[in-house]
Amino acid sequence: MIRTKCIKARREASDGVRISVMSSHTLNDGMTPDDSIQSYMYDIHLPELGAPRKLLGDYYKRGISWEEYEIRYLEHIRQPEINDLLKELMVKHNTITFLCIEESDEYCHRRLLKEECDLINDEVFHA
């Protein structure tokens, strides 16, 4: 099972392994450490599952649309090495909770990541 949550949300037994999928644990400037994010909040940090820095800059600083962000983020996570990592995680862990700073996952890459894992799960593990 794949879930998503804000990294600051309280840990629950149902979370399984909590994976931070943030490119970095920084403020929106991409440089200043976000002191509100502490290592006890997550089990694993996999920045390669976050959005690439250029994509983040294009979204936050240059104002690309959410639709363009989605297309480019999905291209990123559909690379063979990322796809293999996702499969490995799903084999190793029964329950995964992807974490990011956003309260809601409506406009957050962790929702896209979960949806991609759901597709991989359907195609690979239930074929």
| Mean predicted confidence (pLDDT) in 102-125 | 89
> pTM for the full model?
0.91
Tokens of 58: 């294009």
- Within 8 A by CB and 6+ apart from 91, the residues are none
Model pLDDT for residues 10-37, shown as the tens digit of each residue: 999 999 999 999 999 988 777 899 999 9
Model pLDDT for residues 80-94, shown as the tens digit of each residue: 999 999 999 999 999
Strand order in the sheet with 96-100: 2-6, 96-100, 17-20, 44-45
Tokens of 116: 């991609």
State the Cα–Cα distance between residues 7 and 37, nearest whole angstrom. Answer: 8
| Mean predicted confidence (pLDDT) in 38-45 | 96
For the chain, what are the domain ranges?
2-125
